[in-house]
Chains A and B, each alone.
Chain A
Amino acid sequence: MQKIVEVKNIEKIYGKAGEKQYKALSDVNFEVEPGEFVGIMGASGSGKTTLLNILSTLDTPTSGQVHIGGQDITKLNTNEMADFRANKIGFIFQDFNLLENLTAYENIALPLALQNTDSKKIDPAVMSISKKLGLTDILNHYPTELSGGQKQRVAAARALVHDPAIVFGDEPTGALDSKSARALLDTMSKINHEDNVSILLVTHDPFSASYCDRIIFIKDGEIGQELKRDDHTRGEFYQEILDSLGTFAE
């Protein structure tokens, strides 16, 4: 089967030639299968956000190739990049990134409106994803009237409403209390299982990582070991992650 994400020999150097340069990623290679829930784990400053920005066309690699859904996204022009983000991927950010002058409903509907979806089709799509994420009661609220956990679920609904090929999350639980974090992760893993949505989660938090099927460790811009959950329970997997963090950090 075709891979959802294929990253080949990615390198990212910040700073122009002649100026002070910093290599944030070097020779990164990995793949994501359809329906997989993959975690990329590393300490702060290890290059996770840089990698995610490249995968989502917000930034371009200095060299290397990225295929998403079979398409080489490093060859797109800026308009194609925007359309790619609008159609193919969903985003969940650490700081929610909701538009606070739109209601929850309007925030969720935004990606569909951007694609100029027929307005008759928007409502059913918004309602169905809201139901899945338990948001039906708060759809008419503005983001400032919501808790952090609710906001992040609205953001998740917005990331999912247009059936993207893959959902990217950059530390989506980073700003949440542990209970809300757990609820969000439960929902994401449910959607991953039931609807076969591919998810790529970037995190430095072992607990979040324990929800993934597979974890790719990154350190100083380089990919290290990989850890598969297989048929272990989440508790066991969490312990394994902690163990390998100990060795990987050496």
Chain B
Amino acid sequence: MLNKLALSGIKHRLRDYSVLFSGLIIASAIFYMFMSLATNSSFLKSNSPAQATSFIYGFGAVLLAIITIVYINYANGFLLSMRQKEYGMFMMLGAKSSKISKMIFVETFTIGAIATVLGSVIGIVATSFVSQLIIKSLDMKVTHFNSFYLPALLITFAFFIVIFIFSALKNSISIRRTKVLTLLHKDSQPARIKKNKALKVFQVILGIVFLGIGYGTMIVMGSNPVLIYLGVPVALFTIVIGTYFMINAVIIAVISALKRNKKFSQKGLNNFTLSQLSFRISDYTKILSMVAMMFALALGAITVGLGFQNQISTVVDGQNYYDVTVNNINNSQQKRIDKLNTKQVVTYSYKASKGTVYYQASEFKKTPFKYQKFNMKSMIGKTSSTTDPSNADVSYELLNNNLPRYRTSKISVVDGAKFDSIDSKANSLTLVKTKSFNKDLATIKKINQSEQKRYPELKGSGASKYDAYVMVNGIFSGLEFMGLFLGIAFLAMLASCLMFKILSGASSDVKRYNMLYKIGTRTKVLRSNINKEIAVLFAVPAGLGIIHVLIGLQMFSKILYKPYMNIEIPFGIFIILYLGYYFVTRYLYKKIVLK
């Protein structure tokens, strides 16, 4: 009988359950996806530019495990918040608490087990889809990657089964321990905000001091990377504490100030919104600080990952000014060059004789030779041009543009008469600068291949810009792939944590909103009130997280060339995903709260 009642309870709340269910499925899918990378050592080895990679992945796995546990804890809280009133009712009607706690154990565990299996299947499909997408869109080189990887699947199962056994135990114990009356009246128990001014002021100061220390450490680390082993833990610790105090004290102080401003607070539902927020935020301090920190880590991972992508063209550009080099141009190569979106095409004739390559001065006078002047201090290459490329600095780059057989030769720039008198075959060297190397990549690749066919010595010499690009791309892609993957996975998890925390509070808000409706609040006003409230809860951690990242990027000022370059891309991806969660949360919240 009771089982039947419980089942019908689930049927009634099918929508709430489907939210919970899809959340758990997403969690296990993400966990599987990450594990399929982190536990695949041949993938890591073949894509790791540095030994750091497996360490980074290990670190990422631990972080992901922690956030998954926290996440399931919140999802579980949401489950309990849905059920406790009903179970309280059964107990009031005389059901034994041991029976009830057994029921909630079975319910929690069953939901978890089904979600894990479905999640892993979705994880396998999603892994192949997402990895293909990332690999293709970024022209990355990723080898030894397999979306189905048995060890990862086993780890996922084991991990989730253990967590769900604990969650199920936790639920059944908490039901057994709680008094029936508390279960029945769970909704109507607000906590009064403790108002201790001195303590709050102290917390504000602590928050600012800790954040200052954390930010300072990151900036110092940036100019002195050796300090990283000491600096990272210090920064992590101080920023976590600073974030906590900022949210706990500063934001509540702002809300109280707004409440005291009668003109603002006594307009429409403002006072209600502010009260809701101040109760919520003191209740949410922990999760909001966690979300802010995770948000920063995830966004940081994506930004740095994409930073490496930017690095690719910088490194490649620093090597060589010209994008394409063709020797003794023929018809088919000419046709391909015509397809390029060129900025400059120049052809120099040359003759090689006894360790010297001769060029004509008149040709350089007409079109000076352009080259990259690399500044070791700023790590930036600067384009220069010269009419006499025979000096040591420049000749290296000109020789590099030519066939490998001349690599050890000297360069001599001579007048027309001298050039004609040299008894050797006249060759030509065509150099092309495109408007965008990346956009013409496909054609450049073809030119490079056919050039290698014509001159087999080019194979494996790594001389052309395209070859350099392929090599650098291979190194950085692995890092970037992981940054993106970890970042998006974290974001999905932490935004869902926040979502479940907020939705867990929804059932207790039903009565409040119903009452506001009864005394004549327009539904539109109620809706906009909910939107505002949830927007603040989402914006607080996002704002702090973004500040953390902007300052945290200072850590990479020596490692990455221009760490802030193209920052709008990762921030954009992030904000769109995060906004998506915001809209889903407020939609579901309104579905629960407004009838």
Interface, chain A (partner B; CB < 8 A): 56, 58, 78-79, 82-87, 89, 91, 93, 97-102, 106, 109-114, 116-117, 119, 122-123, 142, 144-145, 158
Contacts and interface: CB of A to CB of B under 8 A. Distances in A.
A78 B269 contact: no
B279 interface: yes
Interface string B188-212: 1110100000000000000000000
A101 B520 contact: no
B512 A112 contact: no
Give the 7 A-B residue pairs with the shortest CB-CB distance, closest first.
A86-B520, A85-B520, A82-B522, A101-B275, A119-B266, A97-B515, A100-B190
Nearest to A81: B520
Given A101-B279, A144-B189, A110 B272 contact: yes
Given A109-B271, A110-B271, A116-B268, A78 B190 contact: no
Given A102-B275, A106-B275, A82 B267 contact: no
A117 B262 CA distance: 12
A82 B518 CA distance: 8
Contact of B520 (A83, A100, A119): A83
Contacts of B511: 97
B524 to A, nearest CB: 7
Contacts of A114: 268-269, 519-521, 525
Contacts of A113: 266-271
Interface of B: 188-190, 192, 262-263, 266-272, 275-276, 279, 511-512, 515-525
A206 to B, nearest CB: 27
Contacts of B188: 100, 144
A187 B521 CA distance: 27
Nearest to A82: B522
A56 B518 CA distance: 9
B279 A97 contact: no
B523 A82 contact: yes
Contact of A144 (B190, B269, B525): B190
Contact of B519 (A91, A106, A144, A145): A91
Among B189, B512, B520, residue most surrounded by chain A Cβ atoms (within 10 Å): B520
Nearest to B515: A97
* Main DSSP-derived SS at the B contact region: helix
B519 A112 contact: no
A82 B520 contact: yes
A93 B516 CA distance: 13
Given A99-B512, A110-B272, A113-B268, A78 B523 contact: yes
A106 B271 contact: yes
A223 B225 CA distance: 87
Contact of A101 (B263, B267, B276, B521): B276
In this complex, which of B270, B275, B519 has the most chain A Cβ atoms within 10 angstroms of its Cβ? B519
Contacts of A78: 522-523
A71 B263 CA distance: 33
A112 B192 CA distance: 24
9 contacts: A82-B520, A82-B523, A83-B522, A89-B520, A97-B518, A99-B275, A101-B275, A119-B262, A122-B266
Contacts of A91: 518-519
Contacts of A116: 267-268
B188 to A, nearest CB: 6
A106 B520 CA distance: 16
A170 to B, nearest CB: 10
A163 B519 CA distance: 13
A119 B267 contact: yes
B184 to A, nearest CB: 13
Contacts of B270: 113
Contacts of A87: 520
Contact of B272 (A102, A122, A158): A102
Nearest to A145: B192
Contacts of A109: 266, 271
B518 A112 contact: no
Nearest to B270: A113
Contacts of A112: 266
Given A82-B521, A106-B271, 16 more contacts: A83-B522, A85-B519, A86-B521, A91-B518, A93-B518, A97-B511, A100-B190, A101-B275, A102-B275, A109-B271, A111-B519, A113-B266, A114-B521, A114-B525, A116-B267, A119-B267
A142 B190 contact: yes
B194 to A, nearest CB: 13
B96 to A, nearest CB: 30
Nearest to B522: A82
A234 to B, nearest CB: 30
Contacts of B271: 102, 106, 109-110, 113
A98 B514 CA distance: 11
A85 B523 contact: no
A143 B77 CA distance: 26
Nearest to A113: B266
A101 B190 contact: yes
Contacts of A110: 271-272, 519
